[in-house]
A = this chain, B = another copy of it.
Amino acid sequence: MASLNVGSLGEYIREQRRNAQYSLRQLADAAGVSNPYLSQIERGLRKPSAEILQQIAKALRISAESLYVQAGILDERDRDGLEVHHAILTDPTINERQKQVLLQIYDSFRKENGVVDGAAAPGGAGGVDPGTRDHQPREAADPVAEPDDAAAEPAEPAEPAGAPVARAAAKTAKKVVRRVAGRGVRASRATGDAADDAPGGAAEDASQATGDASRTPAEDAGGDAAPEAAPA
């Protein structure tokens, strides 16, 4: 329970309920949970499961993920970079080349904004050396032990198309598009390794990431400086 801000979740749910102009009982009925329990959730007295949050989100016509973020089940900051990559890569509605094009444009945008590439590997550096006997199993590994940083900087205000920044973005996109389309690969080659043909940066970064991931967590943990679990 330590990782959750239950009070914040409850306030958020109550706010969403009021925005939707539901009474407590109406939302409880719509969500299929008991109204006293919903009251307890909103007042921060109970920590609902993901299933209950799904039901509440569905009844409120909001995304379950927004409740998950409030509940600490999802980390909003993890969406940075990695989330867009993952979302694009797993999207079945565009083909592989389109994915590559989108990703390269996206990465170029991020570079323009001074964001260093190489999003954290999923899961991050966690776990303890399982071979260490003096490890106290009762000390739960804190999933995301993050300091309370300042809020993320607000997004830049929207600019009209044709403004310098818009033109710069378009220019970057054009550059990437030209680079992808222009690479000399004969059309007669029926198959090929797309990664080999992609521009150096992203592909090389990706292969490096893949190389690091080949070590199992157990092998990593066996090293000299095995990471320790964050204190509870």
- Residue ID in chain B nearest A92 by CB atoms: B152
Task: Decide yes or no: A221 and B30 within 8 Å by CB, A81-B91, A91-B79, A141-B58 being known contacts.
Answer: yes
**By the criterion CB–CB under 8 Å, are B68 and A121 in contact?**
no
- Residue ID in chain B nearest A4 by CB atoms: B51
Q: Which residues of B contact A71 (CB under 8 A)?
A: 50
Size band of the interface chain A makes with B: 35 or more
Q: Tell me if A106 counts as interface (CB < 8 A to partner B).
A: yes
Q: Tell me if A208 counts as interface (CB < 8 A to partner B).
A: no
Q: Tell me if A110 counts as interface (CB < 8 A to partner B).
A: yes
A229 to B33, CA, bound (A): 12
**By the criterion CB–CB under 8 Å, are A106 and B130 in contact?**
no
Task: Decide yes or no: A197 and B143 within 8 Å by CB, A30-B221, A181-B166, A217-B22 being known contacts.
Answer: no
Q: Tell me if A206 counts as interface (CB < 8 A to partner B).
A: no
Return the 8 tightest CB-CB contacts between A and B, nearest first. A26-B130, A170-B181, A63-B122, A58-B126, A160-B192, A32-B140, A158-B194, A54-B143
* Sample of 9 A–B contacts (CB below 8 Å): A4-B51, A30-B217, A59-B126, A61-B126, A62-B122, A84-B87, A93-B115, A96-B155, A177-B177
